[in-house]
Structure 1
Amino acid sequence: MRRLIIYYCGIVLFFGSCEDKKKTSDPDSYRDETEIENEIKTKIEVEAEKKEEKEYPVITNENVVSFLTEYGKKNPETKVLITTRFGDIEIELYKDTPLHRANFIYLVKQHYFDETFFHRVVPDFIIQAGNSDLVSTQKKRAELGKEYLLPAEIIPGRVHEYGTVSGAKEYRENPDNRTAPYEFFIFLGPKSSTTHLNGKYTIFGKVIKGMDVVEEISKVKADDGDWPLNNIYISAKVIE
């Protein structure tokens, strides 16, 4: 009898040792090695992309032309979607103003415009965007390049018309009509009000969809400095 008991105990121990030790609640218990390896590779690639985004140099007046020329070759997109609470505005950028086009695409891809405002509105004239009174906007400018200006790319015969997009300009010590890189304006006003704009501001694009949105924004209530009483947040993304 004693031998029989020992025999049965041996059988129980044998089968117990063959039991699958993985719990059914373990999420990796039914995943093959290839699936896990692919997930690891994806995570590595995402981190690499994030690192690459941060490796762009701070833009200065010394490197602005070389940087944007090279960036423009690698990023040829020409259409951007601006989103507001009033609706969307689709902008097409001109290829014959390559530095302004590349700069705009660069800022969009770096998410600079996200959570900035349409901060100046003048009915029957312009709406201007790219600034805010948030600390985050100044922080972004410091990281990307706080002091640089864009060389003027003024095309002879090109004038401000309904829906054209132009770069804002620094007035002080700016006889060369260089563009402030972070702000742009959309023109609405009649041609009769463009005398002080034509030939002095670089026109680098036009609105191809959403001028009804532009019109609505231009009519919001603003203070004495043309700043809307209620902030008009924007976000931007490259679409083509």
Structure 2
Amino acid sequence: MRVLLALGILVCFVSSCEDTKKTSVEKTKTTSVIDETTTSTNDSSSQEISEVTLPEYPKITEENVVEFLTQYGQENPETEVKITTRLGTIYMSLYEDTPLHRANFIYLVKSGYFSDTFFHRTVPKFIIQGGNSDLPSTNKKRADIGATYLLPAEINGRNHSYGSVSGAKEYRENPDKKTMPFEFFIFLGPQTSTKHLNGNYTVFGKITKGMSVVEKIAVLETDEGEWPLQNVYITAEIVK
């Protein structure tokens, strides 16, 4: 009897550790290049959620976004970012002629926002999109930073190309072409798929190394909402 009881406890413990698909009631609203509603899965290899203390800055709002990011960008001129995932490392260079998007991305990296977010949408031979998760920590970080602001468009004639980095939009029909500040996507191609992207989404950077990792992420098995069945966690840090 004791042996059977012990075996029962062991089976329950193993079952509780399985990486199974779930829909979280605390999932944040997913924004995408084409608006999608997605679900996610637990990742058995996921890291422990880290607590990040944000700098002492005011919340960003629609009213102060330009002033705040202009000043922050002057004080934080970095342009190179490293993104680490379980499938490898991606290096990104941010453009100086999209100053608000660059400053916003650097601010999010330095604030620790991207820790415990995922590449949450993957479309083979098109894009991978990052910066969201179904974890309560992501909702909290957005609330602390400023959950309601959008970035003014900085579309300056630069088109999407292999490895370009662009800001996602909260909804596709966006006449001001403003960017949802917390999510970004990396374009894989083909160029024939850029017609609805060029002139509508701000391209604010490019991948300088690690496109093979991007390609690996793009072909992961996903659910019907294009969310990978095993979460691809993001760790982001400034290179220079």
Shorter-chain TM-score: which interval? Answer: 0.7 to 0.9
Deviations 1:54-73 (A, max 9, x none): 32000000000000000000
Residue 140 (structure 1) aligns with? 141
Partner residue of 1:152?
153
What are structure 1's unaligned runs of at least 5 residues?
1-49
2:105 equivalent in structure 1 = 104
Match of 2:64 in 1: 63
Cα offset, 1:174, TM superposition:
2.6
Percent identical residues = 67
Q: Give aligned pairs, total.
A: 189
Deviation at 1:146, TM superposition (A): 0.4
* Cα distance in 2 for residues equivalent to 1:107 and 1:76: 14
Q: Pick closer, same or farther for the CA change 1:173–1:147 going to 2, 3 Å.
A: farther
Which residue matches 1:126? Answer: 127
The answer to which structure has the higher helix fraction is: 1
Deviation at 1:111, TM superposition (A): 0.3
> What residue identity is the alignment partner of 1:133?
D
Q: Distance in 2 between the 1:184 and 1:230 partners?
A: 19
One-letter amino acid of the structure 1 residue matched with residue 191 of structure 2: K
Q: What pairs up with 1:76-87 in 2 under 5 angstroms?
A: 76-87=77-88
Match of 2:183, SS?
A: strand
SS of 1:179's equivalent? coil
What residue number does 2:230 align with?
230
Residues 120, 172 of structure 1: CA spacing in aligned structure 2 closer, same or farther, 3 A cutoff? closer
Match of 2:180 in 1: 180
Query: Which residue of the partner structure matches residue 198 of structure 1?
Result: 198
1:149 is paired with a residue whose SS is coil
Q: Which consecutive aligned stretches of 4+ in structure 1 deviate over 3 angstroms post-superposition?
A: none
Higher relative contact order (CA 8 A, sep 6+): 2
Query: What is the match of residue 239 of structure 1?
Result: 239
- Return the alpha-carbon distance in structure 2 between the equivalents of residues 146 and 216 of structure 1: 31
Structure 2 unaligned residues grouped into runs of 5+: 1-51
Provide the secondary structure at the position in 1 that maps to 2:208: strand
Separation in 1, partners of 2:103, 2:207:
17
| SS of structure 2 residue aligned to 1:90 | strand
Which residue pairs with 2:35 in the alignment?
Answer: none
Counterpart of 1:161, as a letter, is: S
Equivalents in 2 of 1:172, 1:217: separation in Å?
24
Deviation by residue 1:89-125 (Cα, 9 ceiling, x = unmatched): 0000000000000000000000000110000000000
Q: CA deviation at 1:173?
A: 6.6
- The separation in 1 between residues aligned to 2:159 and 2:71, in whole angstroms, is 28
Q: What secondary structure, in the 3-state scheme, does the structure 1 residue paired with 2:97 have?
A: coil
What residue in structure 1 maps to residue 28 of structure 2? none
Residues in 2 aligned to 1:237 and 1:54: alpha-carbon distance in whole angstroms: 16
TM-score normalised to structure 2 length: 0.77
What is the RMSD of the two structures over their aligned residues, measured on CA atoms? 1.3
CA distance in 2, matches of 1:184, 1:171: 14
| Aligned positions of 1:166-177 closer than 5 A | 166-171=166-171, 174-177=174-177
- State the alpha-carbon separation in 1 of the partners of residues 161 and 192 from structure 2: 10
Q: Write out per-residue CA displacement over residues 106-152 of structure 1, whole angstroms, 9 at most, x where no aligned residue.
A: 00000000110000000000000000000000000000000000000
In structure 1, the residue matched to 2:189 is: 189
Highest Rg: 1 or 2?
1
